[in-house]
Amino acid sequence: MTERIEVIIFTSTMTTKRLEHSILVLRLFLSLCIAALVLAQPSAVTGTEVKEKTLSLANSIEIALNNATAAKKAKYTLRLQGADVLRSYGAFLPKISFSTSFTPYSLSKSFVQYDPSIPPFKIKTESESLNLTLTTSLNLFNGFSDYASLQSALNKEKAAEYTLSRALQTIVYDVTQYYFQVLLNRELLDIARENLLSVKNQLTLTDRQFQIGLKSRTDLYQQQAAAAESSLSVLQAETRMKRSLLELLRRLQIDPMSNISLEPAKSELNVLLSSKPDIDSLVTIALERRSDLKSKSLETKAAEWQITQSRAAWFPRLDLNVNASSGGTGFLRQSYSGYSTEYSYPPLSDQLRNSIGYSVGVNLSWSIFDGFQRHYNVESTKINHLNQKLDYEDLKNNIILDLQLATNDYAAALMQIETSKVSLTASSSAFEDIKRKYELGATGFVELSAARASLFNARSNLSQATYNLALQKSVLDFATGTIAIP
């Protein structure tokens, strides 16, 4: 009887455990169903996913020119210089000012004594008045300050135009450099991925050969290490690719979260020089075309005119002044000793027409001593002019030095691309031969790894040489000031 009860209890316990297990399985199934339904529904994030936008080099340059802060600031500076020129022209025109005063009611009280024997009596006067005044002044002579100011403003305005042109060229150059850099990094990433795929295929083959006894465990481990190293190279290439793409987005000044892809710039890569350019002709072109050099030259001339403008304070100033005024009284009433007298005046319009007065005069002013302030101003403008001349000469010398460096770099890039082509051909042939020998067991992993690394470096070097040549051509155009602005 006891054994039967234990069997019943054991059976009941087993049934309870099975029931709990069934409930647990059912709950897990329901949870998976709910999760599947939630994931199946479109989310707001998926609905607002940014579409990929493909950009060409021309599109990128256009976007950068429209969004670049440097270009906008240069345009604002040019606009301000245009206003300064207009102000300088206005200095030759007469200054005109107009003033008016209207008093609708005026009350004044005073004491008047007409006879010493009679005590003075109080007079209260009430009136309304209107006065108009027109004043004009024309400078006849001020030591040629206005003329010097105009010439300085004209030179600054022209300099601002060249500064804007150079700012736009800088934007085009900067975007072109980073555009090519992104394409180069993308190509290097593709090469690294192809190399990784080749290494993985070799690893699969080595693993099968190890399974049948054709390769040792050491060869398998070495191939696994090579695959891991190639994976790291791909990861590093992806990082460089993303970094260069973000730097391009910084130059375009668009939404950093934008998803963009770049079109290949095959036409830009083909427009290259076939030999080393002549440095003398490049220097001649640069000195004629560089907008920043022209801008600095005009700023130097503007500083020279400022010397004449500051010296004008040593001379007297002569002005012609012409004034016209008119006025009238609307009513006038006087009250004294209880009596009130009102005076009848013509209408204000008649009084204004018939009461016009004129005055013409010449004003001469000459500052004899001002505590050496004029001397300081003249010396300050002289020093500014000397500094501008030094900046001009420094810029001119730097242009020549930059052109020499750019010419040498371009010649080296030409040699590099030819060497890279020869190296790629030799590395490809060597790798294929060693790969066949390795598969047949005639050579070891060290030779295969060295051949693969040599082929990978040769392909990377050729890509780098190709884009480096295009970059150096862009450097030459920027150094000579011949970059075309769309």
Cα 29 to the chain's mean position, in Å? 58
Burial label for 428, CB within 10 Å (0-12, 13-18, 19+), is middle
Closest CA to 287 of 170, 173, 402, 169: 402
Cα 122 to the chain's mean position, in Å? 77
* Residue 35 belongs to some domain of the structure: no
Residue 340 shares a structural domain with residue 424:
no
Q: What is the predicted pLDDT for the residue at 165?
A: 95
Q: What is the predicted pLDDT for the residue at 173?
A: 94
Q: Among the listed ranges 115-129, 251-265, 310-324, 405-419, which one has the minimum average pLDDT value?
A: 115-129
Query: Which residues 6+ apart lie within 8 Å of 482 measured at CB?
Result: 285, 289
Is the pLDDT score of 38 beyond 60? no
* Residue 26 belongs to some domain of the structure: no
pLDDT in tens, 450-476: 787 788 888 888 888 888 888 888 999
Tokens of 359: 């005055």
Residue 246 shares a structural domain with residue 395:
yes
Is the pLDDT score of 178 beyond 90? yes
Q: Which of the 8 DSSP states describes residue 341? A: E
Question: Stretch 382-404: mean pLDDT, rounded?
Answer: 96
Predicted confidence band of residue 271 (pLDDT cuts 50, 70, 90): low
Q: Among the listed ranges 13-22, 246-255, 339-348, 350-359, which one has the minimum average pLDDT value?
A: 13-22
* Residue 268 belongs to some domain of the structure: yes
Q: What is the predicted pLDDT for the residue at 11?
A: 41
Q: How would you classify the pairing of strands 260-262 and 53-55? A: parallel
pLDDT in tens, 279-328: 999 999 999 999 999 999 999 999 999 999 999 999 999 999 999 999 98
Query: Which residues 6+ apart lie within 8 Å of 231 measured at CB?
Result: 196
Is the pLDDT score of 30 beyond 60? no
Predicted confidence band of residue 154 (pLDDT cuts 50, 70, 90): very high
String of DSSP letters for 33-99: HHHHHHHHSPPHHHHTPPPPEEE-HHHHHHHHHHH-HHHHHHHHHHHHHHHHHHHHHHTTSPEEEEE
Can you tell me the distance from the alpha carbon of 38 to that of 233, in angstroms, rounded to the nearest whole number?
38
pLDDT in tens, 349-366: 888 888 899 999 999 999
Query: Which residues 6+ apart lie within 8 Å of 164 measured at CB?
Result: 71, 74, 75, 77, 78
* Residue 336 belongs to some domain of the structure: yes
Residue 349 shares a structural domain with residue 438:
no
Can you tell me the distance from the alpha carbon of 183 to that of 157, in angstroms, rounded to the nearest whole number?
39
Question: Stretch 384-402: mean pLDDT, rounded?
Answer: 96
String of DSSP letters for 188-212: HHHHHHHHHHHHHHHHHHHHHHHHT
Residue 230 shares a structural domain with residue 355:
no
* Residue 36 belongs to some domain of the structure: no
Question: Stretch 200-224: mean pLDDT, rounded?
Answer: 82
pLDDT in tens, 418-427: 888 888 888 8
Cα 118 to the chain's mean position, in Å? 88
Q: Work out the mean pLDDT of the chain and round it to a whole number.
A: 83
What pTM did the predictor assign?
0.77
Tokens of 460: 């990377």
Residue 67 shares a structural domain with residue 101:
no
Predicted confidence band of residue 274 (pLDDT cuts 50, 70, 90): low
Most confident range, picked from 50-59, 228-237, 328-337, 386-395: 386-395
Q: What is the predicted pLDDT for the residue at 50?
A: 54
| Rounded (10°) CA dihedral 364, 370, 374, 377 | -130
Residue 215 shares a structural domain with residue 312:
yes
Question: Stretch 436-454: mean pLDDT, rounded?
Answer: 77
Polymer length of the chain:
486
Last residue of a domain, one of 349, 365, 381: 365
Residue 303 vs residues 219, 374, 391: alpha-carbon distances, Å: 76, 17, 12
Question: Stretch 389-415: mean pLDDT, rounded?
Answer: 93
Is the pLDDT score of 262 beyond 60? yes
User: Residue 170: left if φ>0, alpha if ψ -120 to 50, beta else—which one?
Assistant: alpha
Last residue of a domain, one of 365, 398, 425: 365
Residue in the structure block whose two tokens are 């082929």: 455
Q: Which domain holds residue 204?
A: 55-93+142-316+371-480
Residue 342 shares a structural domain with residue 396:
no
Can you tell me the distance from the alpha carbon of 417 to that of 455, in angstroms, rounded to the nearest whole number?
15
* Residue 389 belongs to some domain of the structure: yes
What is the number of structural domains in the chain?
2
Can you tell me the distance from the alpha carbon of 365 to that of 294, in angstroms, rounded to the nearest whole number?
40
Q: Which of the 8 DSSP states describes residue 484? A: P
Residue 323 shares a structural domain with residue 376:
no
Residue 400 shares a structural domain with residue 440:
yes
Is the pLDDT score of 86 beyond 80? yes
Last residue of a domain, one of 303, 335, 365: 365
Is the pLDDT score of 239 beyond 80? yes
pLDDT in tens, 165-174: 999 999 999 9
Can you tell me the distance from the alpha carbon of 3 to that of 13, in angstroms, rounded to the nearest whole number?
15
Residue 266 shares a structural domain with residue 385:
yes
Q: What is the predicted pLDDT for the residue at 49?
A: 53
Residue 331 shares a structural domain with residue 298:
no
Residue in the structure block whose two tokens are 């601002």: 160
* Residue 23 belongs to some domain of the structure: no
* Residue 355 belongs to some domain of the structure: yes
Residue 214 shares a structural domain with residue 344:
no
